[in-house]
Structure 1
Amino acid sequence: MKKRGRKCKNTEEQRDEEHDPCSIIALELKVEILMKLLPESIARLGFVSNHWSSIIRGKDFTDLYQTRSSSQPRLLFAVYRRNTQKHFFHSCSQEDPSSDHSRVSYTLNSDLRYCFNPPIGGFIFGRNGTKAIIGNPSTGQFVSLPRVKTNRKNIFSVFGYEPVNDLYKVLCMTVITKRGSQSFKWEDPFYEEPMTEEHQVLTVGPKQKWRMLECKFIHRHHSGSPGICRNGVVYYLASLNDEKSLVSFDLRSEDFNVSKLPEDYILQQFGNLVNHSGKIAIVCHGYSGPMDLWVLEDATKEEWSKFAAVIPSIKDIYGNDQKVMFCGILATGETILAPIPSPNPFFFICYDPKEKDARKVVIEGIGDDSAVIRVFFDHVESHMVLPKVR
């Protein structure tokens, strides 16, 4: 039966090639042509025939495309316009944001506004309450994930990629409150401190469901600081025994671990997790003033190094007294600051602490008076098509 099925499949492929005017073109030339197309065009071409699908979704072409995209990381802007209830994604070159632009749109339900995690491998995860989606901003394809299994409203989610088995996973945690806990310093015995209760994970793929996990660390995640993924491990900040700590979740073994943070008051109160040149780092920066950057040099030994830089305010640079939000650090060492609320036209500030030089980067066509804009770094374009999850 298997041989017969394979024979039929080969016959279909042969028929495709016979009717394909491109069949006489050498494979190397086809690949060269594909590499010049936009991700959305490549994805659509994969549905033309089995022959094109076998090339586009084959490992050789996928690895080649991924390698090129990884060497040309992009900025990704997740834009939500409240007046139209619409999300769209805008990407541009990370080296020269004014040189190369692309945009895709995704219409949301009128009553939903998704919060997106940092993109991984070309895909991005968004959640609104228990509803979740995953999509490819480069092609505009988004699919719904199963609802998170909980009745709680306070949910924290982290999106990551496990390279050994080539799997994308989502970790979600929900919280409850504990009354009168003696392990906290607040004097009010009726203070309700939220603590993480349910831990569940979803492997992105057909017919996958949320699975409950055990975690031996009783902690409270910090929803204001998004998690990040590095080398198959997702990291997020949490309070453990009344101290801010770094929690890691290995996507392959699905085990949790905790690392202590340096004993620094500013870090404990204001630190946010960032990706700094491929390393896990915590930045401490208010709306103005100096910035402290703590870089995790060795997770096993819990060794951190500290860098400090004085970041000028927007008023000092442009005479406009506007609050800014720290967004991240480019591989060049430049710090990115975005105004709050999102201006129209939208712009952000690139500041080089070494040269003490600041430049304003304007992104045309994405801002309006109702827009809420979030900036992501090191976005990798992908032509891959997501399978239907449900």
Structure 2
Amino acid sequence: MSEIPLDLLIEILCRLPGKYLARFKCVSKQWSSLISCRYFCERLYTIRQRKRRPHLYMCLVDKDGQSALLSMSSTSPDNACFVVDQDLSPGMGGYFLNVCHGLICFTVRKKACIYNPSTGQRLILPQIKPDIIADQGQVRYFKRHYMGYDLVDNQHKLLCTIVMYCDRLFHLKSEHWVFVLETGGSWKKVVSHESYRPHAPFAVGQYCISGSVVHYLAWHDMYTCAIVSFDFRSEELTTIIAPDDVRANMSIPALELKADLIEYGGKVAIFEHSNLKIEGMVVLWVLEDAEKKEWSKRSLVLQPCQRHLVQDTGLILKGTTRDGKVILAPFEMHSGFYILCYDLRSNDLRKVDIKGVPHHWFDKECYFDLRLMDENESLSYLEI
């Protein structure tokens, strides 16, 4: 190593595949420190920006608790098909898949698991001992995890929202905990403001991140929907009530509303698709100004030739692509796996096949989750 200038060594290593970089950390302590340092990771990400290629990760869990984590890559320039290139099972896979800077988070038996596909490292976080005390009749209890990044302190953090309630969200209680991904990290309870109002995140809800802030949709009760925002820097929660028209003409909105959050034009937006299957229509509610709580509304109607793509089964939102396309997936997948990509700017919907999923997952009742991540993003941070 002394024979090669450090700057030249970095340039050489940055042009190698991620799997080799993970191996080369074993060469020496000096190499391990170099490949793991922030400068190297940022240089690696910069060099590979021009060769970005989407990568799809899928979590599967059946009713018996068997799970799988599948890695898929695009086989064509237009991303018309994804093929499984790696089966990361066994011992991987779970519920509520998150990705951030190349790290993958999913929930396994009420614990959060962090996985780095570049190095194969896996970290299971300790279970939280909530402060919520169940009242008589409170039987519903669940957790949701959201992963984000503190841009100032350069720290990855995990937010856990714990909810307890009776049927129909009666006697709703919620609390929030934060974990910093660092040596010796532990869960710390978030201190809520006096104006804090308990809420339950959408059951299969997605999230969107802008800077150091994660946003997700939640219910205060069966009729009141809100956008909840958590700043990973200040560790503060804020809430904005969604427009009344989002849940108009619904007797019990929490049971009937089909909507989720996306990023649209750099702003947080509610993608409401309750009438997509029947009328081929979606409504975008864009939060134009968070401080003034100003919204704009845009309605989109599918082209007649594309209506058949949404009429066979119910659809759930699974995030957005780098170029702003909305990813929709069938609520149940049986004879085949696929996703739908909805380009909101051109109002165009197309089907993207997923091939190579192990056959024993076909015709099986299972939970699945999807996340799209740039191939280079998975190489930007090489150590948990």
Secondary structure in 2 aligned to 1:80?
A: strand
Secondary structure in 2 aligned to 1:87?
A: strand
Q: Which of 202, 210, 216 is equivalent to 1:236?
A: 216
Q: 5+ unaligned residues in a row in structure 2: which ranges?
A: 135-140
Please tell me the residue identity of whatever aligns with 1:33. Answer: I
Kept after mapping to 1: 8 A contact 2:72/2:82: no
User: CA distance change for structure 1 residues 313 and 106 in 2, over 3 Å: closer, same or farther?
Assistant: farther
Q: Shift in Å at residue 243 of structure 1?
A: 2.0
Residue of structure 1 in register with 2:372 after alignment = 377
For 2:152 and 2:316, the matched residues in 1 are separated by 35
Matched, 1:246 2:241: no
Please tell me the residue identity of whatever aligns with 2:18. Answer: P
Q: Which of 73, 89, 104 is equivalent to 2:70?
A: 89
Secondary structure in 1 aligned to 2:34?
A: helix
Matched, 1:223 2:202: yes
Count of residues in correspondence between the two structures: 352
**Matching of residues 251-270 of structure 1 within 5 Å:** 251-266=232-247, 269-270=257-258
Q: Which of 350, 353, 363 is equivalent to 1:359?
A: 350
Q: Shift in Å at residue 221 of structure 1?
A: 2.0
For 1:80 and 1:258, the matched residues in 2 are separated by 32
User: CA distance change for structure 1 residues 63 and 362 in 2, over 3 Å: closer, same or farther?
Assistant: same
User: CA distance change for structure 1 residues 122 and 199 in 2, over 3 Å: closer, same or farther?
Assistant: same
For 2:148 and 2:110, the matched residues in 1 are separated by 18
Please tell me the residue identity of whatever aligns with 2:381. Answer: M
Residue of structure 1 in register with 2:86 after alignment = 103
Q: Which of 285, 290, 293 is equivalent to 1:299?
A: 290
Q: Shift in Å at residue 63 of structure 1?
A: 0.8
Residue of structure 1 in register with 2:138 after alignment = none
For 2:191 and 2:227, the matched residues in 1 are separated by 18
Residue of structure 2 in register with 1:182 after alignment = none
Percent identity between the two aligned chains: 28
**Matching of residues 273-352 of structure 1 within 5 Å:** 273-286=261-274, 288=277, 289-311=280-302, 316-317=307-308, 321-352=312-343
User: CA distance change for structure 1 residues 232 and 290 in 2, over 3 Å: closer, same or farther?
Assistant: same
User: CA distance change for structure 1 residues 192 and 244 in 2, over 3 Å: closer, same or farther?
Assistant: closer
Secondary structure in 2 aligned to 1:146?
A: coil
For 2:261 and 2:333, the matched residues in 1 are separated by 22
Please tell me the residue identity of whatever aligns with 1:164. Answer: V
Q: Deviations over 1:45-65 (max 9, x none)?
A: 122113322431233321122
For 1:31 and 1:344, the matched residues in 2 are separated by 47
Residue of structure 1 in register with 2:117 after alignment = 137
Residue of structure 2 in register with 1:154 after alignment = 142
Please tell me the residue identity of whatever aligns with 2:202. Answer: S
Q: 5+ unaligned residues in a row in structure 1: which ranges?
A: 1-16, 18-22, 179-189
Residue of structure 2 in register with 1:197 after alignment = 174
Secondary structure in 1 aligned to 2:292?
A: coil
Q: Shift in Å at residue 134 of structure 1?
A: 0.6
Q: Shift in Å at residue 73 of structure 1?
A: 5.8
Residue of structure 2 in register with 1:6 after alignment = none
Please tell me the residue identity of whatever aligns with 1:306. Answer: K
User: CA distance change for structure 1 residues 350 and 247 in 2, over 3 Å: closer, same or farther?
Assistant: closer
Q: Shift in Å at residue 263 of structure 1?
A: 2.6
Kept after mapping to 2: 8 A contact 1:134/1:143: yes
Q: Shift in Å at residue 85 of structure 1?
A: 2.4
Q: Shift in Å at residue 24 of structure 1?
A: 3.6
Q: Deviations over 1:289-343 (max 9, x none)?
A: 2111122232222222222212369984469833333333434443332223224
Kept after mapping to 1: 8 A contact 2:246/2:272: no
Kept after mapping to 2: 8 A contact 1:69/1:381: no
Secondary structure in 2 aligned to 1:127?
A: strand
Residue of structure 2 in register with 1:40 after alignment = 19
Please tell me the residue identity of whatever aligns with 1:366. Answer: V
Residue of structure 2 in register with 1:51 after alignment = 30
For 1:345 and 1:121, the matched residues in 2 are separated by 30
Secondary structure in 2 aligned to 1:118?
A: strand
For 2:224 and 2:77, the matched residues in 1 are separated by 38
For 2:220 and 2:112, the matched residues in 1 are separated by 28
Please tell me the residue identity of whatever aligns with 1:60. Answer: Y
TM-score for the superposition, normalised by structure 1:
0.77
Residue of structure 1 in register with 2:137 after alignment = none
Query: Between Structure 1 and Structure 2, whose CA radius of gyration is higher?
Result: 1
For 1:191 and 1:59, the matched residues in 2 are separated by 47
For 2:305 and 2:123, the matched residues in 1 are separated by 39
User: CA distance change for structure 1 residues 309 and 137 in 2, over 3 Å: closer, same or farther?
Assistant: farther
Residue of structure 2 in register with 1:185 after alignment = none
User: CA distance change for structure 1 residues 260 and 351 in 2, over 3 Å: closer, same or farther?
Assistant: closer
Residue of structure 2 in register with 1:8 after alignment = none
For 1:34 and 1:101, the matched residues in 2 are separated by 27
Matched, 1:174 2:162: yes
Please tell me the residue identity of whatever aligns with 2:188. Answer: R
Kept after mapping to 2: 8 A contact 1:334/1:353: yes
Matched, 1:77 2:65: no
Kept after mapping to 1: 8 A contact 2:287/2:294: yes
31-40 or 195-204: bigger deviation: 31-40
